[in-house]
Amino acid sequence: MKRMTTFLSLAAAAVLFGMAAGAAAADTYKVGIDQTNYEPFAWKDASGAWLGWEVELLYAVCETQGMTCELAPTAWDGIIPALQEGKIDFIFASMSINEDRKQQVDFSHFYYDSTTVIIGAKADTTVIDFDNPESLSGKVLGAQGATIHSKFLEARFGSAAEIKTYDGLDNALADLAAGRVDYVQEGLSTLSTFMATEEGKDFEVKAIAPPDPILGEGVGAAVRKGETALLDMINAGIKAVVESGKYDEITAKYPQLEGMLVQPDFGS
């Protein structure tokens, strides 16, 4: 009888240990980010470590909620399917909130916004008219594929210009610098980093995109449909980071972002 009691005690302990281990595992979240460099928000250095404003913000948000977050670099055009299939737990990757994506995922409160612009060579005198596709007739415009920017360019200029898409913004900018595309569209907060480099010094903002439903409502974290508990934690984390001053502290490390970001306001 004693041996049976001991066995049952051991079994019960094993179950409790398993439950505890499961609870610990449940507190670890795989976070989807774009696998290509997207400076100054997220990029991989020579050692393989991920750096950037958004990476730091993510870890700060997770810390406020006692969440252990692990980066899971994912191809951008497959990042929503990866979330839906359970390969990652949420997305924190400069994903703009728009109606199309709202049909597929649930979004947090936006955690930043940035003006959308088109950049091109300083020597280029073309006047870009967003209401007239022919204003860019024969031109080649670049953007990262499967983004609001590639969709916006296709909708506005696709009937008259060539829209070239890339698996990463860095490749689009490399082609811009090499003269293989005439313009690139993205958020000013990202393109300003490129224009401040030696490679980008001969380029400037040629046009500011007008408000458009395709461009969305700022950048938010994305979770699977109906995962309200996780969404609540992320929202609470974003609010805590903003209200504690940590958001400003992180942003101050990236002078190229000064005046470039619209910060979330949670009121009093």
**Spatial distance between the Cα atoms of 128 and 118, rounded to a whole number of angstroms:** 9
Q: Do domains 2-113+217-257 and 116-215 have the same CATH topology?
A: yes
**Spatial distance between the Cα atoms of 90 and 105, rounded to a whole number of angstroms:** 10
Backbone angles phi, psi at 205, to 5 degrees: -70, 125
Q: What is the pLDDT of residue 246?
A: 98
Q: What is the pLDDT of residue 14?
A: 41
Q: What angle do CA 56, 60, 64 make, to 5 degrees?
A: 170
* pLDDT, average across residues 97-118: 97
* pLDDT, average across residues 199-228: 97
| Candidate CATH numbers 3.90.1010.10, 3.40.50.510, 3.40.190.10, 3.40.109.10; the one for domain 2-113+217-257 | 3.40.190.10
Q: Which fold has domain 116-215?
A: D-Maltodextrin-Binding Protein; domain 2 (3.40.190)
12-67 per-position pLDDT tens digit: 444 334 433 333 345 799 999 999 999 999 999 999 999 999 999 999 999 999 99
In the structure, what pLDDT confidence band is assigned to residue 230 with cuts at 50, 70 and 90?
very high
Among residues 179, 204, 171, 183, the alpha carbon closest in space to that of 140 is found at 183
Mean pLDDT of the chain: 91
Unique residue bearing structure tokens 């049952």: 8
State the pTM of this model: 0.83
**Spatial distance between the Cα atoms of 86 and 79, rounded to a whole number of angstroms:** 11
Query: How are beta strands 203-208 and 116-121 bridged, if at all?
Result: antiparallel
Dihedral angle computed from the Cα positions of residues 154, 158, 161 and 167, in that order, rounded to the nearest 10 degrees: 30
Every domain of the chain and the residues it spans: 2-113+217-257, 116-215
Q: Determine the angle formed by the axes of helices 53-64 and 228-244, rounding to 10 degrees.
A: 110
Helix (H) or strand (E) holding 166: strand 162-166
